[in-house]
Structure 1
Amino acid sequence: MSSTHEVAVGRPAPPSGAWLHGVVRDVDPVVLEAITGLDGGPVRGVSAAGLVAVVSAAPLDEYGEEPLRRHLEDLAWLERAARAHHGVVEALARRGPVVPARLATVHTDDSLVAGSLVECAAELLATLDRLTGRAEWGVKGYLVPGVVARSGGSEGAGGVGTAYLRRRRAQLTAHEEGRQAASAAADAVHTALGELAVASRRHAPQDRRLSGASTAMVLNGAYLVDRPALPGFTELVAALGDRHPGLRLELTGPWPAYSFVAERREPAHAGESQ
């Protein structure tokens, strides 16, 4: 007599797709075995056109088009997936240039991964050449309260209410002047750093809830820096912080070059979900 449990045990495993983390020129399979990918499993390589796509196994009952669409609306699931994805990309970047894949790029089988490499080989190789010997560094600039002098002046005549209104107007004016001065300083910092970097990008400032900072962010810059130029770049960040006391500058990195990889869709192969 059979049971539901026995039928379930006898089912074949669901077909597995491939979650793409990034593309490199070459990588030792032994190195890949030491990198933890999605759901705690090891990553592996799919080779074609002189390139290697680094992927995690992605069972299609969880990572197929429909279940993946539902998962992407689950912030806790999305955070775990993004952390695992970034961990793989970061591990690859420590060993050489990598073209990071867009989060949640899933192919239904390895032949589609290989086809994507063949179709985009020229673009991928050119990007890897451009990233060789370079890394992305971030510089964030936060407002420093109280640096811009506030307007003084006597309260004058008119009583307590009038004096309060004058003080309040002076506070608002000082606040706006401070923001304008910080914005100008952020522009100057970004320009100066961009002149030393190979390439630069200015992203939208992060909300305080995301940045975790107590004051507003006015600069969120990314800079592609040649490794030999890094000491000079670091010194310039410190010098610019001294030159612009209204900003607190924070240098972060090195990061995989997310900001300097062209945004592109994977070729639309049949049976692929993204």
Structure 2
Amino acid sequence: MNTDGDLTYVYAAAPDTREVRASLQGLRGVSGAPVSLLPLPAAGPDPVAFVVSRVAPDEFDERTLKARFEDLEWLEGVARAHHEVVQTVARHDTVLPLRLATVYQDDDRARRALAAQHHAFAERIALLRGRSEFGVKLYVHPTGSTSPAADPTGSPESREDAADASLSPGKAYLRRRRAQHSAQEVRYRHAQEAAERVEALASRFSTQRVRHPAQRGALAGPEENVLNDAYLVPHDRAEEFRTVLAAAMEGLDGVRAEVTGPWAPYSFATPPPEPGTAGEERVP
């Protein structure tokens, strides 16, 4: 039990191994606190522990967290620290990241939550061992993204600008709108073809896929995100996976693929919930 009144912040579940313990030496997490393992007293042949640190109750109690989640600067700092801890452990062994700001009143309650889902965690770790998560996103370029000044060599856009100069303003506007609509239709067709290529090729390398909602607004930038998938890929096929997906975009103008990773398996870490477990005792 925490004797100083601090709360127990849980980053992930991980195997209780020598390698994982060594990875935590000198590691600092949220609020600069030292990170350690919180094991069960008797975990059996496949021991799983929580990766934890201590956080102050005046920052992470339920009431404060509701307000803090509106503070983007604070949230970014916590997210970065959380991710760094998870990725550090992932470089040494399989890790099951937990959601941001998973906090318990004390170590005893955290252990009860771990004990309630220990079997599920151990099964999930066995399933994910030797694999990492890769993100695959497809973006469609906005129409008119190539300006005449940026491309003075006779692109379709620059030729249309020259033709528009001989038309009335109204006719020139309608012409450009039709051209933009036609160009965007072509790009969406290319995006559909790209998505089909990605799915067909990725299935040769990955063992699981999770389809996330497409990103919108500032997260996507000036382009339109039309695909946001996560794949679980064996370590020994990671580079081949990247190479094949990059080549798959050849000949598809107006579409950009982004492959990121390897990451800890955030999208695949959570086992099916077990109703009535002590995990419901989290502070937030």
> TM-score, normalised to structure 2's length?
0.79
Of 81, 84, 104, which residue of structure 1 is paired with 2:81? Answer: 84
Percent identity over the alignment is: 32
Partner of 1:201 in structure 2? 210
Helix, strand or coil: the match of 2:256? strand
Q: Which amino acid aligns with 2:11?
A: H
Any idea what SS the aligned residue of 1:232 has?
A: helix
> Following TM superposition, by how much is the alpha carbon of 1:263 offset from its aligned partner in structure 2, in angstroms?
6.7
Q: Distance in 1 between matches of 2:156 and 2:211?
A: 28
Task: Specify which of 174, 178, 182 is matched with residue 182 of structure 2.
Answer: 174
Amino acid at match of 1:56: S
1:142·1:248 contact (CA, 8 Å) conserved in 2? yes
2:14 maps to amino acid: V
Q: From the superposition, tell whether residues 37 and 165 of structure 1 become closer, same or farther in structure 2 (CA, over 3 Å).
A: closer
Secondary structure at the aligned position of 1:73 is classed as coil
- State yes or no: 1:35 paired with 2:43: no
Give the 3-state SS of the residue equivalent to 2:16 in structure 1: coil
1:20 counterpart letter in structure 2: V
Cα distance in 2 for partners of 1:264, 1:107 equals: 20
Q: For residues 164-212 of structure 1, give each alpha carbon's deviation from its aligned partner in whole angstroms, at most 9, with x where no partner exists.
A: 254134224214413421431342133124412111122223235224x
Distance 1:255 1:270 in 2: 27
Q: Secondary structure at the match of 1:33?
A: coil
Provide the C-alpha distance between the structure 2 equivalents of 1:61 and 1:235, rounded to a whole number of angstroms.
48
Moved over 6 A (4+): 146-150, 263-266
* Aligned position for 2:265: 257
Unaligned runs of 5+ in 2: 147-154
Does the alignment pair 1:17 with 2:16?
no
Q: 1:264 to 1:87 in 2, by over 3 A?
A: farther
How far the C-alpha of 1:161 sits from its partner, in A, is 5.5
Matches within 5 A, 1:1-274: 15-28=5-18, 29-48=21-40, 49=43, 50-144=47-141, 160=168, 163-196=171-204, 197-207=206-216, 209-211=218-220, 213-262=221-270, 267-268=277-278, 272-274=282-284
One-letter amino acid of the structure 2 residue matched with residue 135 of structure 1: S
Does the aligned pair in 2 maintain the 1:18–1:106 contact within 8 Å? yes
Structure with larger RCO (C-alpha < 8 A, sep 6+): 2
Alignment RMSD: 3.1
Q: TM-score by structure 1 length? A: 0.82
Q: Distance in 2 between matches of 1:168 and 1:231?
A: 43
Deviation at 1:142, TM superposition (A): 2.3
Whole-angstrom distance in 1 between the partners of 2:197 and 2:229: 9
